[in-house]
Every structure is written in structure tokens, then in C-alpha cells.
A and B are shown apart, each in its own frame.
Chain A
Amino acid sequence: MKLKENKVPMRYIGAIEVKIAGVGSILPGQTVEVPIWMANNLVRDPNWEISGPVKQMEISAPAENTEPVESGETPGLDGLDGSDNSDVSKEKPSKRKIKRQEES
């Protein structure tokens, strides 16, 4: 999935190389595209100037989280002992263990 973020091209007009965390090394005269909030911040410094219009950039979305599987339990194996396995993903394994102990 791709997300969209507005970025602003900013030209660095300082005399010496500078580094910004998350952006990298920037040489004098180089243009970098940075988020709007950072551009607003940088433009107040005499060593930076806006060099173009706002651009909409596509960025990668973070990977979706998957449900962690608890150790010692393998989903689907409960059906081997004849019990109902249909709601295995909703019910916590610990409760199922307690239920089986009560039935026996």
C-alpha cells in the first residue's frame, strides 16, 4: 500500500556540508525534498530557501501487524480431540485449556 505525503524542495545555500537525521548529508547548493513542517522550520534559517512548489510524494506504508501466535499452541489442532474448532481465532488458548479440564 502506498501513502501520499506532501514534500517541499528546499535548497541548502550554506557554505559547508550539513547532515539532518532522516534526510542525510546535504552539500552546499543541493536541493532536498523534505516534509512541509520541516521546510517551514528550515526556511527561517538564512542558509535555506524554498526552490519549488509543494510536491505530493508516494511513500511506502508500514507493514501491517500480524496476530502473534502464542507459544505451545498451534491453531487448528484442537479439532483433533473432537471439540469445536470454529472459533479458535477468537478464543484465548488459556481459556480453552481451562474448559477442557472442566469437561474431563
Chain B
Amino acid sequence: MSIIQVASEKGEVIWAAIQSAVDVPNFPTTSGTMLVTESPTFGREPVMATNSEITDSYAERPGEICGHKAGTLKLAVNFKVSGTKGTLSPIHPLLLALYGRHTVVPNTSVSYMHYRRNPEDAFVYLTVLVKKQTETVLMTNVRVKKMDIDITSDKLLPASFDCLYEKEFHAGKSTLKTAIDGTVTPVTVIPLNGLEDYQLFEVGSYIYVGTDDNGGAGFEVSAVSKANNELTIEDGVTTVQDVGVKIAGFTPVVTSSGYNLQAGKSWKTGNTGELGVRKIFYTNLKFGVENGVKALENICSDEGVIGFAEGGRKVTLTTTRYYSLLGEGARYLLENEVSIPIDAQVGTEAGKILEIVIPSWKINKQSESGKEDKSIAIDGQCFESSGDDESTLVLK
């Protein structure tokens, strides 16, 4: 049985792991598997050289690439819960990197709180491995910048995450050019079969060679030779491998766990304050958290960034509901800048409930649409009440 049959699965998949610190990559394991709903997109813009010298020179010419900016990564997943109260969600790494802090109360709940700004909490960095049809891409120092949740009655709860990352390591697919007979081991130089296949691999990526995956750890590529079309790997292959066996990016085993949420029975309440206790039904609710992360570009190197700075946080909540359920109350709330506490909940079964607690929601815009089925959309922003508590995400 070849490893690629499991690694490929159907379509594409990602794995994520929480780093202990910046610049300390943590290769994900099988528990970090996340199933995506859209193909992950990522890329790094090049930094173009500018040169204002008037005369011809041998200096770097304008328009040449002299480095890369921080990369951007977009992930789309279903918002999954564990199904057991007090147990982490399968998408826990993304949620923690977004919020910065979490509290686990066994058999009760898992709560996510925003990064504190004074004193500042350390950023949570991720290592993310993306498996696409043609290659694997390992990204390190990933910072989650933004999350959007769209709570619409007929959908599984979609969540999208916008991230920044510092480094990326690609591993494509090739085949072995010269057999490894297993008598002289370890073999650390791996000749590639395809013409110029060396271009598909980068130093820092992890691969397997045929049926050998370095005992489940993958082989780290330590050098790529253009002249010889070959890779040098750490540790080395210690088993017999025939000519033509596959060489490709190493991935953990794909596992699936947890439960998807559906918004069909959702509701929200403004349970204190000027509105009093009331339950308000909605047709759509969009919740967004944006950390406003700014990349600090590295001027001392051609690669990536030297870190990320927090650029302010914005938490937003937009609802849509039928006009008859609301009346004209929103206009009063808008004009008087009334602060509304919100407790929005998705799901009703223990262990499969997402609760968004917002102490202070203020409306900043309302707009009507539709004819017979007239609906009203209300945009608002969430503010802190007692320090860094614009919202709390509770899984219970």
C-alpha cells in the first residue's frame, strides 16, 4: 500500500498546529486535520526594486524582484464543534490564533476571549500544511487576521479565516530515478526522474520516498541541486525503493472529527439593558472579528517579515430580519446610540452549541430591501464593556 493513497484522499485538506513561539515551526499531526469547503488560496506579493539613479548603472534595476512581502492565506471551513461539552473543537487552532486566549471548563464549556491589549498578550502563531492536488505547502508563523461567520438558516455554518504568514515551503510530485537497494543506508541524495523536477521542491519542505516516510516523520529537504536534478534529505532512506516510486510532500493521516453546526434553529436575545428581555428571530446574522494585523516587512533579508503588529481590533455584527418583527425600533436605537447586549446562539444540543456573547452592540446603519417580504438589515459594531471583551465565543 502506498502512502499517497491516504495522503491524497479526495480533494484538498489542511492541517494546523499551534507553535510554542514565533519562529518555532510545529509540524502538524493527524489531530490537526481540518476539512476545507473551498480550495485554500495563498500567495506572496513580490517587492519590486526601485532605482532613481539618473545615469546607467550596474545597480539593481527598477522592476526587478528583490524580495517578498508577507503571504496571505484564506481558509474556508465549516464551523465544527466537538460534540462534547468542555472539549476542544476540531478548528481550535484557528479559533485560538484569532482570539488569543481560551478557558476550558471540563464537561461544561470552552470559551475564547480576545487578546488583551494592556498588557499585551503574546501572539499565537500556527504552522499550517496545505495539501493540494499537485503539491503540499507548509506555511510557518501564520497569524490569523480575520474571521467571518455567516449564520444563515439553510446553511451549515460557514467560517472563513484570513491569515498572514511568513514562510512557505513547497513540495511537488516526482519519481525516483535510481533505485535504492537498501544495502547502503541511509541514502540522503535522492535523484529525480522528471526533467527539471528539482523546481518542484524547496528546502524546508517534508517529503516521502516511495513507501519510506522516515518512520512517520517525513524527510526534511535540506538541499535542492539544479545541476544534478536531485534532492538532499535529512536522515536518509533506509529501505529498498524501486526506480519510479513516487516522491511527494509528506502529510499526516487524514482524520475527521466533530460535528457541523446548522443555523436553522438559531435565535438571539437582547436580554438586558434598554431593550429588556426579548427574543428576536432573524433570517441572517453575520459575525466578524478582525485583528487588524500589520506585517512588519523585513528590510534585512529578501524573505518574508520580521513579525506582526496588532493594528487595532474590530468586531462586527450584522443582522437581517423581516420588517414586521422589528417595527421601527432600530431607528430609535440608531439615533440614540443605544448599547445592546447580545447573546446569539446556534444549536440546541449539549456539546453542539455555539454562543456569541457581546456586551455592547451599537447600530451604525440600517437599510430596507424587498417588496412583499420586506426585510431590514442592521449593521453594528461591538464594543468592549470591561476590557477586551467585545465578544466571547463559547462552545458548550
Q: Are B256 and A48 in contact (CB under 8 A)?
A: no
In this complex, what residue of A is CB-closest to B27? A44
Interface string of A33-55 (1 = CB under 8 A from B): 00101111111111110000000
Listed residue (A18, A19, A41, A43) with the most chain B CB atoms within 10 angstroms of its CB: A41
Q: Does B30 contact A (CB under 8 A)?
A: yes
Chain B residues 201 to 259 lying within 8 A of chain A, measured CB to CB, are 211, 213, 215-217, 252-258
Contact residues in B for A35 (Cβ distance below 8 Å) = 1
Contact of A37 among B83, B211, B256 (CB under 8 A): B211
Q: Does B9 contact A (CB under 8 A)?
A: yes
Q: What range describes how many residues of A lie at the interface?
A: 20 to 34
Determine the distance from Cα of A42 to Cα of B33 in the docked complex, in whole angstroms: 12
Contact residues in B for A17 (Cβ distance below 8 Å) = 83, 257
Chain A residues 5 to 26 lying within 8 A of chain B, measured CB to CB, are 14-22
Closest Cβ of chain B to A37, distance in Å, is: 6
Q: Are B252 and A41 in contact (CB under 8 A)?
A: yes
Interface string of B66-86 (1 = CB under 8 A from A): 000000000000000011100
Q: Does B127 contact A (CB under 8 A)?
A: no
Listed residue (B3, B82, B83, B253) with the most chain A CB atoms within 10 angstroms of its CB: B253
Contact residues in B for A39 (Cβ distance below 8 Å) = 216
Determine the distance from Cα of A15 to Cα of B110 in the docked complex, in whole angstroms: 14
Q: Are B1 and A16 in contact (CB under 8 A)?
A: no
Q: Does B153 contact A (CB under 8 A)?
A: no
Q: Are B82 and A15 in contact (CB under 8 A)?
A: yes
Determine the distance from Cα of A47 to Cα of B28 in the docked complex, in whole angstroms: 13
Contact of A45 among B6, B29, B88, B215 (CB under 8 A): B29
Contact residues in A for B31 (Cβ distance below 8 Å) = 14, 45-47
Contact of B84 among A16, A21, A45 (CB under 8 A): A16
Contact residues in B for A18 (Cβ distance below 8 Å) = 255-257
Contact residues in A for B175 (Cβ distance below 8 Å) = none
Contact residues in B for A22 (Cβ distance below 8 Å) = 6
In this complex, what residue of A is CB-closest to B213? A37
Q: Are A45 and B87 in contact (CB under 8 A)?
A: no
Contact of A41 among B83, B213, B258 (CB under 8 A): B213
In this complex, what residue of B is CB-closest to A48? B30
Contact residues in B for A47 (Cβ distance below 8 Å) = 30-31
Q: Are B87 and A15 in contact (CB under 8 A)?
A: yes
Listed residue (B1, B9, B256, B257) with the most chain A CB atoms within 10 angstroms of its CB: B257
Listed residue (B31, B213, B254, B255) with the most chain A CB atoms within 10 angstroms of its CB: B255
In this complex, what residue of A is CB-closest to B5? A22
Determine the distance from Cα of A45 to Cα of B31 in the docked complex, in whole angstroms: 7
Contact A44-B216, Cβ < 8 Å, known A16-B257, A16-B258, A21-B6: yes
Where the two chains meet, the residues of B that have a C-beta atom closer than 8 Å to any C-beta of A are: 1, 3, 6, 9, 29-31, 82-84, 87-88, 211, 213, 215-217, 252-258
Where the two chains meet, the residues of A that have a C-beta atom closer than 8 Å to any C-beta of B are: 14-22, 35, 37-48
